[in-house]
């Protein structure tokens, strides 16, 4: 009995032990099941879904550029392209061979694709071919099972509705290079472009935008079944420029076949209405790729179509510089408005003779007559009395030979020399250098943009600075009112003397630019001619009847003209440089007259729209 009782106790303990163990095991399994299904259920569901879901970044649309009247000058159009995701294809070379059997693929493109696959992470799509037409896209889609890792995507491509007319100022975009991608990984996305010139480059950060994302359901071979979710990227900012596309069109039309540049400003605000360079180029070619033949044609053209001459072309200002010399002489008390200087046709100084453009001379002239007749001898003497440092200081005040803080890249400062500049080169400054600087030649170098700024400052007496941006994302930028710019701080009497001299150049019967006179009733323009030699002319050549217009084109003088109008209520200022145009009075003045006539007839500033309205999407 005792043995049976003992055996029963052992069995009970074993049963309890086994039962407890089983119960603990079941409890452990239940807790794990609860954790997997309830606590970590969402995570595991995501992991499972990721086996069939492909997440990809989407290139954001680039911000548009608008002119002052909301006309699109740089926009986007739909672009079908073929992409390759390396991690979704086993044999990239074989896949590209099958693709090339459907859509042409050059060896250059094939090498680029393989290079980009090596350089990027394997999940980042690489562009195989852009700008597909409908038939090419259809062939790729029909043969998708045989093209693992290849997909057709729709994005945007940059377009420039005005083409060559605005190429230099608006600029262009091109595919990013490795340095660009290293700075910002978003640029590795297919379809991304980087501004390489003009406003496109200067406003790159605002125009780029932020990437979006798309989730795609794919099958075992990576073929897209459907799109599950899409979050579009944040578009780049829409930027409203000060430009008027129609004024730009008119200016380019007046330049015709000349190798020339011109800048048109609102004299009250410094807004750039037109910035034209001729010849020009098609900016869209950089987006799709430049052929070697096209590139060689551009770089071999002696008229340099790729250079924005308005901001990067450096020229001696010639007689357009005489207003600055006059103001410097008045400010330094080297002359007065009524001082008279004799011009016999030359100035002898030391062992050198400095000629006036009029061989017989102008006789006795005061400041008004000196400007009206553009007398070289008068300004030789004014410069000699004033000194180069005082002239340079005045030139800098008027925006010449100094940095203009305009919202563009590639703007050259130019040069107005000083004694210190020359001494820094290890050479001494001499009085002859000062004399030739008096007529804007010698070492002096300026841009058409700085000449336009100079004229706007003469017209208003304010330190107007040119600028190109009116609004960014609807936010108005500063510098849109005359009072935003400080007073030049010069005596009004001096300013009026110079303005009256410019008026006489155009409107007095004996002025040097009668061809610039406006035919508009009651409207007058003030201006100044300039002709700049590009080679020295010896006394022997002059004595033998040297004629610059008989020289080869590249040896002829540059022709310049600067102006503002209306004279009694300045609204517009312009500068014009015609390369090798020979004479400013004959070549540049009539073009400037026609540009100003169009401006005053159409008067784009009379139709100002609020920047907030202009920046709205259309």
Residue 216, classed as helix, strand or coil, is: strand
What's the CA gap between 185 and 178, in Å, rounded? 10
Active site residue 531: no
For 48-109, give the DSSP string.
HHHTTEEEEEEPPPPPPEE-TTS-EEEEEEEEEEEEE-GGG-S-HHHHHHHHHHHS---HHH
The contacts of residue 51 (CB under 8 Å, 6+ apart) are none
Dist. CA 295–CA 444, nearest whole Å: 32
Contacts of 351 (CB under 8 A, 6+ apart): none
- Cα(295)–Cα(293) distance, integer angstroms: 5
Q: Select from 563, 306, 560 the least CA-distant residue to 455.
A: 563
Rounded to an integer, what distance in angstroms lies between the CA atom of residue 578 and that of residue 143?
57
DSSP labels, 462-473: B----B-EEEET
Q: Which of 319, 450, 494, 531 is catalytic?
A: 319
Question: Is 122 in a helix, a strand, or coil?
Answer: coil
Q: Which long-range contacts (CB under 8 A, 24 or more apart) does 547-554 make?
A: 548/582, 548/583, 549/582, 549/583, 553/580, 554/302, 554/580
Residues linked to residue 72 through DSSP beta bridges, in sequence order = 66
| Tokens encoding 198 | 């003009």
Alpha helices in 465-574 (DSSP H): 492-507, 539-543
Is 201 within 8 Å of 171 (Cβ atoms)?
A: yes
Half-sphere exposure of 329 (CA within 13 A, CB side): 28
Please answer whether residues 310 and 170 qualify as being in contact, where contact means their C-beta atoms are separated by less than 8 angstroms.
no
User: Pairing state of beta strands 173-174 and 53-58?
Assistant: unpaired
- The two beta strands, 65-66 and 239-241, are parallel
Alpha-carbon span 147 to 87, nearest angstrom: 13
Rounded Cα–Cα distance for residues 278 and 37 (Å): 72
CB 456 within 8 A of CB 573: yes
Residues with catalytic annotation? 319
């Amino acid at each position: 009995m005792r043995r049976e009782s003992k055996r029963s106790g052992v069995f009970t303990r074993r049963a309890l032990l086994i039962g407890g163990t089983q119960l603990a095991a079941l409890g452990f399994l239940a807790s794990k099941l609860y954790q997997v299904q309830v606590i970590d259920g969402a995570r595991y569901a995501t992991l499972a879904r990721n086996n069939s879901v492909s997440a990809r970044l989407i290139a954001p649309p680039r911000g548009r550029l608008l002119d002052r009247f909301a006309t699109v000058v740089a926009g986007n159009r739909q672009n079908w392209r073929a992409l390759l995701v390396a991690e979704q294809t086993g044999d990239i070379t074989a896949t590209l061979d099958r693709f090339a059997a459907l859509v042409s693929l050059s060896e250059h493109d094939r090498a680029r694709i393989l290079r980009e696959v090596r350089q990027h992470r394997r999940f980042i799509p690489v562009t195989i071919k852009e700008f597909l037409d409908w038939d090419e896209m259809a062939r790729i889609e029909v043969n998708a099972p045989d093209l693992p890792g290849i997909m057709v995507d729709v994005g945007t491509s940059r377009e420039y509705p005005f083409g060559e007319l605005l190429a230099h100022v608006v600029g262009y975009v091109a595919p990013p290079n490795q340095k660009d991608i290293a700075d910002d990984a978003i640029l590795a996305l297919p379809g991304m472009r980087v501004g390489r010139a003009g406003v496109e480059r200067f406003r790159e950060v605002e125009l780029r935008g932020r990437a979006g994302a798309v989730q795609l359901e794919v099958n075992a071979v990576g073929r897209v079944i459907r799109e599950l979710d899409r979050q579009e990227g944040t578009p780049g900012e829409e930027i409203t420029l000060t430009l008027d596309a129609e004024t730009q069109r008119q200016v380019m039309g007046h330049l015709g076949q000349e190798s020339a540049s011109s800048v048109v400003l609102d004299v009250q605000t410094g807004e750039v209405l037109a910035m034209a360079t001729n010849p020009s180029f098609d900016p869209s070619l950089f987006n799709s790729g430049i052929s070697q033949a096209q590139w060689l044609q551009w770089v071999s053209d002696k008229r340099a179509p790729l250079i924005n001459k308005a901001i990067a072309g450096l020229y001696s200002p010639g007689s357009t510089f005489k207003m600055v010399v006059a103001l410097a002489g008045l400010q330094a008390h080297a002359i007065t408005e009524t001082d008279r200087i004799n011009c016999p046709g030359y100035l002898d100084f030391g062992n050198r003779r400095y000629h006036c453009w009029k061989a017989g001379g102008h006789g006795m002239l005061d400041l008004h007559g000196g400007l009206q007749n553009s007398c070289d001898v008068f300004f030789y003497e004014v410069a000699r009395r004033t000194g180069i440092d005082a002239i340079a200081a005045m030139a800098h005040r008027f925006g010449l030979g100094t940095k203009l803080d305009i919202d563009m890249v590639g703007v050259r400062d130019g040069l107005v020399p000083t004694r210190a500049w020359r001494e820094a080169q290890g050479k001494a400054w001499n009085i002859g250098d000062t004399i030739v600087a008096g007529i804007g030649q010698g070492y002096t170098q300026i841009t058409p943009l700085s000449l336009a700024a100079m004229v706007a400052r003469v017209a208003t007496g304010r330190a107007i600075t040119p600028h190109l941006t009116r609004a960014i994302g609807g936010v108005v930028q500063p510098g849109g009112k005359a009072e935003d710019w400080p007073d030049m701080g010069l005596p009004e009497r001096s300013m009026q003397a110079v303005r009256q001299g410019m008026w006489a150049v155009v409107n007095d019967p004996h002025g040097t630019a009668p061809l610039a006179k406006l035919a508009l009733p009651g409207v007058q323009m003030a201006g100044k001619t300039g002709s700049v030699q590009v080679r020295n002319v010896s006394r022997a050549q002059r004595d033998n009847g040297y004629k610059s217009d008989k020289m080869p084109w590249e040896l002829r003088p540059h022709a310049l003209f600067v102006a503002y109008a209306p004279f009694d209520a300045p609204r517009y200022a312009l500068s014009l440089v015609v390369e090798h145009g020979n004479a400013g009075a004959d070549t540049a003045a009539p073009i400037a007259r026609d540009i100003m006539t169009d401006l005053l007839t159409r008067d784009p500033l009379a139709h100002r729209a609020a920047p907030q309205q202009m920046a709205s999407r259309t």
